[in-house]
Amino acid sequence: MEVYLVGGAVRDELLGLPVRERDWVVVGSSVEEMLALGYRRVGKDFPVFLHPQTGEEYALARTERKKGRGYYGFEVHASPDVSLEDDLLRRDLTINAMAKSQSGELIDPNDGQQDLAARTLRHVSAAFVEDPLRILRTARFAARFARQGFGVSEETMQLMHRMIRSRELQEISAERIWQETLDALATDSPAVFFSILQRLQAIEQVYGEIEAVFSDVSAREPALSALEQVASQTDQPCVRFSVLVGSLYFHRQEEDTLEVSHLARQPGLPSSCRELLELTVELQQASHDVFKLDAQALLALLRRLDARRKPERFLDLLLIFSVIYKSLKKANEYPQADWIQLASRRIEEVDIRQWVGDGGASEEIAARLKRAQLQLLEEMMDARGSP
Ligand code: CTP
């Protein structure tokens, strides 16, 4: 049997980027031989194994053919007569379809090196269409390598556009969509991912209702630039996503929580992401207007922000509000965030233990707490001279 390094590791090495994960292809072997050599089988549908010592992935060279609709409808053919070239031909992009032998020779039958040099993401063959997830992958690679100057080839854009017109993306499960989306959000240029999906008219098929706002260029462009802004400040995908969606809704100037709650409730979106997204849409307007709020409304905002119990989420939300506001209002500062932090700290100064011994009911203590907190906030607001 022969073993080759393939896929992302070969690509990243040629790009001079750190290699994150090494995948191997095994030619001329069989499931039985791999098991006898001590490899552990992991793929149920595909002949994929883990190396007994390194834990790296070794896959038997295979060809695939789509059986019908649905992501898992593949007919997999793996046998000792499948060549390395056959295996490379079934792959998504030419830059991902190169291999390196153990003696260091590069095997590149699909001109991946040429596309690498030209900074082009190009599909390997017509078999690209057999897996609609590749549309999201291609947009994600464009986002990941945008800084290196990569773009998607015109032919590949056309091919993907045809796939979208025949509604291929609807075959992908929500879990896989969010897995790809979160990976794309974590790249250096997440806005590129959404721009490409927009150019392909794929937003509605992937994210549903958000398309209604996204297709409006005067909402989309500022939202994408806010996304770029936040990407330079945090690498957290959910914070980045909340900025994108929050900006779209901010632009609209009308709170349409129903639509967002639908988006936020898609299966596969992690619950921490959902929470951040919902709070962004619910609270951003109050945060932007914080200097105009009365003490009651300010207290209600602070309680929803819940800095005491959720300090990290609180700071994430302030970052989200601040990026959205600065980016959309072209402002340099967001003094609202400092004010909210100050007010949050002040209301925490009230210590309910002072009333616990009085024997009052819990509602009575809650009412006293609220009165004391409102009073503190009013004092703060008077000192500041507002509203
Ligand atoms: N691949 C493919 N089609 C897919 C998924 C994967 O053709 N839908 C192939 C590509 O050749 C890819 C390889 O399998 O390079 C490994 O996939 P994966 O680990 O997901 O991607 P990498 O290219 O290794 O990128 P990353 O650095 O993100 O892991």
Determine contact, residues 193/224, Cβ cutoff 8 Å. no
Determine contact, residues 318/280, Cβ cutoff 8 Å. no
Query: Which amino acid residue places its CA nearest to atom 23 of ligand 1?
Result: 8
Which atom number of ligand 1 is nearest to the Cα of residue 9? 24
Sign (positive or negative) of CA dihedral 282, 283, 288, 292: positive
Closest by Cα among 338, 347, 345, 337 to 377: 347
Does 71 have pLDDT greater than 90? no
What pTM did the predictor assign?
Answer: 0.91
Q: Which residue has the tokens 């069989």?
A: 30
Cβ of 133 less than 6 Å from ligand 1: yes
Dihedral (C-alpha) 256, 254, 213, 322: value to the nearest 10 degrees?
-100
pLDDT tens per residue across span 285-313:
999 999 999 999 999 999 999 999 999 99
Which atom number of ligand 1 is nearest to the Cα of residue 144? 28
Task: Tokens for 317, please give them.
Answer: 């939300």
How far is the centre of ligand 1, averaged over its atoms, from the C-alpha of 9 (Å)?
A: 10
Determine contact, residues 331/288, Cβ cutoff 8 Å. no
pLDDT tens per residue across span 207-247:
887 888 888 898 899 999 999 999 999 999 999 999 999 99
Beta-bridged to residue 4, according to DSSP, are 25, 101
Cβ of 10 less than 6 Å from ligand 1: no
Q: Of 13, 17, 23, which is best to mutate to test ligand 1, by the most ligand atoms within 8 angstroms of its C-beta?
A: 23
Does 102 have pLDDT greater than 60? yes
